[in-house]
């Protein structure tokens, strides 16, 4: 089939690959963009990390409403950002957004990234853990290790990107890793931009 200059540009924008590499990838995969992206990644010619400075001003909103006894009791909106509307409109991208919204509803994260957790919150947690350890008679030399370990657990409990994805049938691993793998697969800068969760009585 004929590979147009527009096709080559589109693949280059998706992957950051060179012009000749992008053209060859499309030619060898009959113009199939998904297969061409995979081809470039396998050749080490596409790297989502090279796109770190690209603008991700497209995306979609994942939503989920949790019902209990025929009434809505919790709702989630989450924005997943990407670079192009081509990816934003894809079923895989929209499905991941939906899955992330369901995860947020279930695991109730309070923050998106570790950097978003107020330092005062972390210091407060450290003081509580330290005092608990001392009151339990833990040796002073291991108290700091206990504090470090429990702070890591705190992040896994309350920070969305550090949480283990709640549905292992869909993905096994951390939320941030799932998004990074999606970014590599689709050849664009993709990340969770923001989220909001509300619940009756909270």
**In this predicted model, what pLDDT tens digit does every residue of 25-83 receive, in sequence order?**
888 888 888 888 888 877 776 655 555 556 678 999 999 999 998 899 999 999 999 98
CATH code for the domain of 134: 1.10.286.20
Q: What is the pLDDT of residue 14?
A: 74
pTM of the model: 0.71
Q: What is the pLDDT of residue 12?
A: 77
The token pair that represents 61 in the structure block = 């909103």
Q: Residue 53 domain-assigned? A: no
The pLDDT of 3-20, averaged and rounded, is 77
CATH of the domain at 73: 3.30.479.20
Q: Tell me the residue range of the domain where 21 lies.
A: 5-46
Candidate from 6-10, 92-96, 151-155 with smallest mean pLDDT? 6-10
Residues 163 and 102 in one domain: yes
What are the pLDDT digits (tens) for 98-133? 999 999 999 999 999 999 999 999 999 999 998 888
**DSSP per residue, 98-164:** HHHHHHHHHH--SBSSGGGS-HHHHHHHHHHHHHHHHHTT--HHHHHHHHHHHHHHHHHHHBGGGSB
What's the number of domains the chain is made of?
3
How many beta carbons lie within 10 A of that of residue 133, not counting itself?
19
Whether residue 131 sits in one domain with residue 69: no
> Is 20 among the domain residues?
yes
* Dihedral sign, Cα of residue 40, residue 43, residue 44, residue 45: negative
Q: Are residues 68 and 136 in the same domain?
A: no
pLDDT above 60: residue 8? yes
CATH of the domain at 12: 1.10.8.10
Beta bridge partners of 82: 58
């Amino acid at each position: 089939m004929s590979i147009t200059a527009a096709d080559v540009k589109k693949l280059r924008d998706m992957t950051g690959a060179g012009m000749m590499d992008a053209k060859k990838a499309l030619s060898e995969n009959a113009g199939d963009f998904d297969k061409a992206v995979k081809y470039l990644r396998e050749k080490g010619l596409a790297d989502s990390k090279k796109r770190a400075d690209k603008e991700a001003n497209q995306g979609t909103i994942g939503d989920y409403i949790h019902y209990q006894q025929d009434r809505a009791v919790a709702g989630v909106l989450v924005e997943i950002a990407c670079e192009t509307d081509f990816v934003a409109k894809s079923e895989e991208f929209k499905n991941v957004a939906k899955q992330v919204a369901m995860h947020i509803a279930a695991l109730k994260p309070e923050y998106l990234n570790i950097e978003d957790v107020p330092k005062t919150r972390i210091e407060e947690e450290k003081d509580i853990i330290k005092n608990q350890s001392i009151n339990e008679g833990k040796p002073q030399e291991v108290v700091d290790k206990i504090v470090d370990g429990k702070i890591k657990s705190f992040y896994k409990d309350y920070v969305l990107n550090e949480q283990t994805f709640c549905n292992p049938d869909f993905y096994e691993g951390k939320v941030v890793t799932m998004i990074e793998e999606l970014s590599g697969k689709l050849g664009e800068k993709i990340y969770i931009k923001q989220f909001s969760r509300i619940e009756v009585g909270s």
